[in-house]
Amino acid sequence: DAKTTQPPSMDCAEGRAANLPCNHSTISGNEYVYWYRQIHSQGPQYIIHGLKNNETNEMASLIITEDRKSSTLILPHATLRDTAVYYCIVRVRDRGSTLGRLYFGRGTQLTVWP
Amino acid sequence: SAVISQKPSRDICQRGTSLTIQCQVDSQVTMMFWYRQQPGQSLTLIATANQGSEATYESGFVIDKFPISRPNLTFSTLTVSNMSPEDSSIYLCSVVPIDTQYFGPGTRLTVL
């Protein structure tokens, strides 16, 4: 699976949009971009994923550049409860034996302040 | 999606003892995994729990230390055997119902 690079930390004011970048310059054509977050001492929470089109759900939006070498996770109105470590992961989306092997890097510690 | 529960949520154990962690899923899933997260570190895959057969372990993890059971498609257990303080971690169960991976809340283990 392709490696990703994320800033170690970011902060954001409550109510403002949080934009979390991720570089994945070695991504392959069949690899998806997944985002998870981990609130302190809890299990990782799935947020969103995409291949090449921008995606939006009730939690966030995912913007993937045209060359797919980077992406941005957007939390449109950050709240204090969004304070967490956010992980960007790229991997092939299939049902093979590698499916469970999500390799988490260090992620970005997002701190939302009042 | 999938709703995953783990028991216990946390425990404090003495060195040399063993602890069995349970993972229950609200639906039948083929693929179930166990992860470890040591303090301040990222997640590391321990093994894939296969229903009806032995678990498949990642490099650095062995069955004698981390025996796994998977009696059916909604349940699995991970045992941490002969514990030492280095086993203090959060242990996480994870499933893939279709093509997205979901994680349980974790079991925080402290070994004294």
Q: Do B4 and B95 meet the contact criterion of CB atoms below 8 Å apart? A: yes
- Write out pLDDT tens, residues B67-106: 999 999 999 999 999 999 999 999 999 998 877 889 999 9
Q: What are phi and psi of A56, to 5 degrees?
A: -140, 140
Kindly list the residues from chain A whose CB atom is less than 8 angstroms away from the CB atom of residue B42: 104-107
B69, two tokens: 């059971």
Which member of B48, B92, B100 has the closest CB to residue A43? B92
Kindly list the residues from chain A whose CB atom is less than 8 angstroms away from the CB atom of residue B94: 43, 100, 102
Which member of A42, A49, A93 has the closest CB to residue B106? A42
User: Whole-angstrom Cα distance, residue B42 to residue A15?
Assistant: 29
- In a 10 Å sphere around its CB, with 0-12 CB exposed, 13-18 middle and 19+ buried, how is residue A1 labelled? middle
Q: What are phi and psi of A4, to 5 degrees?
A: -125, 155
- Segment 78-97 of chain B within 8 Å of chain A by CB: 90, 92, 94, 96
- Write out pLDDT tens, residues A84-100: 999 999 886 655 555 55
User: Whole-angstrom Cα distance, residue B5 to residue A68?
Assistant: 36
Percent residues over pLDDT 90 in chain A: 72
